[in-house]
Structure 1
Amino acid sequence: MKKNGIVLRFLQRPSAVIGLTILALQVIAVIFAPWIVPYSPIEANPLVSLEAPSVAHWLGTDVSGMDIFSRIVYATRINLLISITAVIVAFVIGVPLGLLIGYYRGLLSATVMRLFDFIQSFPVFVLGMALVSVMGQEIWNVAIVLAVLFIPMFARLIRAEVLSLRERPFISAARCSGATDLSIMFRHILPNAMTPAIVQISISIGMAILLTAGLSFVGAGVRMPTPEWGLMVSIGAQQMILGVWWVALFPGLAIVLAVLCFALLGDAAREVADPTARRR
């Protein structure tokens, strides 16, 4: 009943409804892309280069004659695949790591925290460009790089919660009852420390989408002819001065909607998880 109440409160928020609607459209694009698009997303046709939006090409074509609508739909797969994979990997690694360095204090914990400080001292975008250039411009390499950037974020969130929970009376009671450290960490502390990290998942996916698009925009991410929103904006930006606005505009709107979707879901989740954060 309690879970049903949380879901109901979540769905009662307009931000959650809007976010879920946009997310549903993205899921449809990911699953049914081959049946939705009228053209191949990677086959060029110079005969229809830079055509404006029309009945034949709903969102126009780019400089290579590739249909923009078809590429945007397929790019949803690429961008969400990279972003969600990166955040899941960061969550799976960062949460247990944050739990350990929060529960056990000492040289190892301090060393890990200094490593996190080193990683986070670099501008995220610059560090991402450097790592991708070293590892290679492949889809999975971009996802790995983003995961490395997000691991400290999840680990710090969990560590902060663990530090406040490890001295609570119920933890002391568990120790007195003979519970092992492993049992205390994973049965008593972790379930009570997960809320901030779970809320952060949605926000981090939006950040990962922006970083993926940004890396591709500057030529350090996904390469042609793979359909990717940032890469499409980069190609279209070169044509905007000539009045060809549609090549960059529609992929840019796709990025805005995708990031907005996860930001709204994260905001709604935060309000449900923390009653003091609810808007009046």
Structure 2
Amino acid sequence: MRATFTRYLSRHPGAVIGLVLLGLQVIAILFAPWLTSYSPVEADPLASLEPPSLAHWFGTDVSGMDIYARVIYATRINLLISLTAVAVAFVIGVPVGLLIGFYRGGLSSLVMRVFDFIQSFPIFVLGMALVSVMGQEIWNVSIVLAVLFIPMFARVIRAEVLSLRERPFVAAARCSGATDFSIMFRHILPNALTPAIVQISISVGLAILLTAGLSFVGAGVRMPTPEWGLMVSSGAQQMILGVWWVSLFPGLAIVIAVLSFALIGDMAKDLSDPTTRDRR
């Protein structure tokens, strides 16, 4: 397995870039207090809108807060919200998709209609509505994103289960006396997880964009919480005045985070598919 992984990385520089970018985010999360000497929430009106310099590497915002410190600390907030939401959606959506794919009937149809109702709304608009109802707190944003992502994981697993449940190995397991629980979790689920694993990285990237977007329009976390979308929003009004650094650096952080998970998702897809892995 290690040899396969190493060979894959040697042939795919994009995967290496994704891992490096992810590593930078992990470093920012773990060592944020040692990477900057400024507080991410402490304002200094005398240092308002200072351009990038040796004192403030990324400059300061309108309140005088150090943008570099806020970008570093925002990595914790954005990834905490995104990873928590996706983890909850995965833990709930996978078993639900497995059950409604294996047992077809009225209850399965009802669950699918609920998913249809949730996904009939534009995901961003529904996210704004739910956050507005629940309150603009970090955990509330995570819960809202989890609710939006559960149907995605459930549908992905259900589609795989509908195909796998008719395979000969399932009939053989049933003939050997295996229970439905054993067939679902020992025989079908391991073969159906590959698309869901790929969906994790895609959903994390989407969650980062949604978190930043909600904060940008004022429906996400509130000031002075360091969050990339909130920082882009606070600097957008100064862009026309030539104050580019307030929005540029948190915007680049969003790009790096989403790109890293997109590249890792592509790598996970290749490595989890034996036919693709062996060919590449």
Which interval holds the TM-score relative to the shorter structure? over 0.9
Paired amino acid for 1:145: V
Q: Distance in 1 between matches of 2:5 and 2:140?
A: 35
Paired amino acid for 1:127: L
Paired amino acid for 1:202: S
Q: Distance in 1 between matches of 2:51 and 2:110?
A: 56
> What's the CA shift for 1:10?
4.3
State whether residues 9 and 272 of structure 1, in contact with CA within 8 Å, keep that contact through their aligned partners in structure 2.
no
Query: Which position in structure 1 is the counterpart of 2:269?
Result: 270
- Show structure 2 runs of 5+ residues with no match: none
> What's the CA shift for 1:37?
1.1
State whether residues 271 and 278 of structure 1, in contact with CA within 8 Å, keep that contact through their aligned partners in structure 2.
no
Q: Distance in 2 between matches of 1:172 and 1:200?
A: 28
Query: Which position in structure 2 is the counterpart of 1:25?
Result: 24
Q: Distance in 1 between matches of 2:116 and 2:85?
A: 20
> What's the CA shift for 1:74?
0.1
CA offset digits 1:236-274 (Å, max 9, x no partner): 001101110000001000000000000011112222334
State whether residues 10 and 269 of structure 1, in contact with CA within 8 Å, keep that contact through their aligned partners in structure 2.
no
When residues 279 and 227 of structure 1 are mapped into structure 2, their CA distance, relative to the original with a 3 A threshold, is: farther
Q: Distance in 2 between matches of 1:164 and 1:36?
A: 50
Query: Which position in structure 2 is the counterpart of 1:7?
Result: 5
**1:134-149 matches, cutoff 5 A:** 134-149=133-148
Q: Distance in 2 between matches of 1:186 and 1:36?
A: 44
Query: Which position in structure 1 is the counterpart of 2:184?
Result: 185
- Report sequence identity in percent: 79
Q: Distance in 2 between matches of 1:277 and 1:188?
A: 22
Q: Distance in 1 between matches of 2:160 and 2:190?
A: 11
> What's the CA shift for 1:276?
5.0
Q: Distance in 1 between matches of 2:185 and 2:56?
A: 54
State whether residues 137 and 223 of structure 1, in contact with CA within 8 Å, keep that contact through their aligned partners in structure 2.
yes
Q: Secondary structure at the match of 1:105?
A: coil
Query: Does structure 1 residue 105 correspond to structure 2 residue 104?
Result: yes
Q: Distance in 2 between matches of 1:176 and 1:66?
A: 67
> What's the CA shift for 1:41?
0.3
Q: Distance in 1 between matches of 2:73 and 2:100?
A: 41
- Show structure 1 runs of 5+ residues with no match: none
Query: Which position in structure 2 is the counterpart of 1:64?
Result: 63
User: What do you get for the CA RMSD once the two structures are aligned?
Assistant: 1.5
Query: Which position in structure 1 is the counterpart of 2:115?
Result: 116
When residues 35 and 241 of structure 1 are mapped into structure 2, their CA distance, relative to the original with a 3 A threshold, is: same
Q: Distance in 2 between matches of 1:248 and 1:63?
A: 11
Q: Distance in 1 between matches of 2:175 and 2:216?
A: 57
Indicate the larger mover: 30-39 or 8-17. Answer: 8-17
Paired amino acid for 2:187: H
CA offset digits 1:180-213 (Å, max 9, x no partner): 0000000000001000001111111000000000
Query: Which position in structure 1 is the counterpart of 2:204?
Result: 205
TM-score by length of 1: 0.96
Query: Does structure 1 residue 52 correspond to structure 2 residue 60?
Result: no
CA offset digits 1:1-42 (Å, max 9, x no partner): xx3355335433212110010001000000000111120000
Query: Does structure 1 residue 227 correspond to structure 2 residue 226?
Result: yes
Query: Which position in structure 2 is the counterpart of 1:94?
Result: 93
TM-score by length of 2: 0.96
> What's the CA shift for 1:145?
0.3
State whether residues 39 and 67 of structure 1, in contact with CA within 8 Å, keep that contact through their aligned partners in structure 2.
yes
Q: Distance in 2 between matches of 1:9 and 1:100?
A: 37
Q: Distance in 1 between matches of 2:177 and 2:276?
A: 36
CA offset digits 1:123-154 (Å, max 9, x no partner): 00000000000000000000000000000000
